[in-house]
Amino acid sequence: MSALLEVSNLRAGYGDAIVIDDLSFSVQEGSNLALLGRNGVGKTTLLETLMGNTRMSGGTIRVRGRDVSAATPFARARMHIGWVPQEREVFPSLTVGENLDVVARAGHWSRAAVFGLFPRLAERSHHYGNQLSGGEQQMLAIGRALMLNPKLLLLDEPMEGLAPIIVEELAVAIRNMSLQDGLTTIIVEQQPALALSMTSQAMVLERGRIVHYGASAALAASGRLLERFLGIGLAGEFE
């Protein structure tokens, strides 16, 4: 596999504040990366930077070999980067179908494909965005990003605040994305067990720097590493 995303010596943040400092990594096409770490270490900032929403003060971001470091968020979306923000940001005055169609681009992911992934959305296709539950809005936010037919999908805490049954449904759907379309994903998630179960690779941040990068299964199996990087007691989630 070739690298879909290559990040080299990245420094970025907000205003004069540097949150991401000299960070380098790559993500292979078709792989799935869990982005882990304690609160405030720069996980969301990294996704925001990949999408073009922060101030870069150094380094480069390449997608399929193309330097996108100076590209606008709109241009990055056209370069096949999809983003599901933590706030979901569905269009409240549009129906489910309209939320999907308004961003649609040609490719595997059509309205029918999204409804196949999330049958709940098919049942509510004529409901407005503000008439949906939190879980349904998250499904719609993911489905809308898929309608762009991205090669790289960034998901910022997609399970936050959702009922366990919805979390399970979303986790299955996220796993299936790669199987259906070879989609590459980067997922920020506060539940390490869940994140590692959905991904092939894991990267842990501390103070804006990478302290661990390796196979998700290996990290899940190592209580020592889980306690070291993510806090005492987390190893118990994997028993």
Query: pLDDT tens digits for 55-95?
Result: 999 999 999 999 999 999 999 998 889 999 988 899 999 99
The torsion angles phi and psi of 67, rounded to 5 degrees, stand at: -75, 115
H or E element at residue 186: strand 184-188
Q: Do 155 and 119 contact (CB within 8 A), yes or no? A: no
The pTM of this model reads 0.91
pLDDT in tens, 103-128: 999 999 999 999 999 999 999 999 99
CA distances from 189 to 97, 118, 119, 134, 146 (A): 28, 20, 24, 17, 19
Residue 24 has pLDDT above 60, yes or no: yes
Q: Which two tokens stand for residue 148?
A: 């762009």
Q: Is the pLDDT of residue 1 over 70?
A: no
Helix 164-181 × helix 134-146 angle, to 10°: 10
User: Does residue 188 contact residue 167 with C-beta atoms inside 8 Å?
Assistant: no
* Average pLDDT of span 14-40: 93
pLDDT digits (tens, 9 = 90+) for 157-197: 999 989 999 999 999 998 888 777 789 999 999 889 999 99
Q: What is the DSSP string of 119-182?
A: HHHHHTTTSBGGGS-HHHHHHHHHHHHHTT--SEEEEESTTTT--HHHHHHHHHHHHHHHHHH-
How many whole angstroms separate alpha carbon 109 and alpha carbon 169? Answer: 19
Q: Percent of the chain having pLDDT more than 90?
A: 77
Query: Which residues are bridge partners to 17 per DSSP?
Result: 14
Q: In the prediction, which pLDDT does 234 show?
A: 45
Task: For CA atoms 91, 94, 95, 96, give the dihedral sign.
Answer: negative
Q: Which domains does the chain have, with CATH numbers?
A: 3-80+152-238 (3.40.50.300), 88-149 (no CATH)
215 or 178, higher pLDDT? 215
Give the DSSP letter of residue 6. Answer: E
Burial of 220 (0-12, 13-18, 19+ CB in 10 A): buried
Q: Which of 132-136, 142-146, 158-162, 176-180 has the lowest mean pLDDT?
A: 176-180
Mean confidence (pLDDT) of the chain? 91
- Spatial separation of the C-alpha atoms in residues 34 and 207, rounded to whole Å: 17
Burial 123-133 (b: 16+ CB within 10 A, else e): ebeeebbeebe
What is the model's pLDDT at position 92? Answer: 95
Q: What is the pLDDT of residue 182?
A: 84
User: Do 79 and 61 contact (CB within 8 A), yes or no?
Assistant: no
Element (H, E) at 213: strand 209-215
pLDDT of residue 238: 43
Residue 233 is predicted with a pLDDT of 52
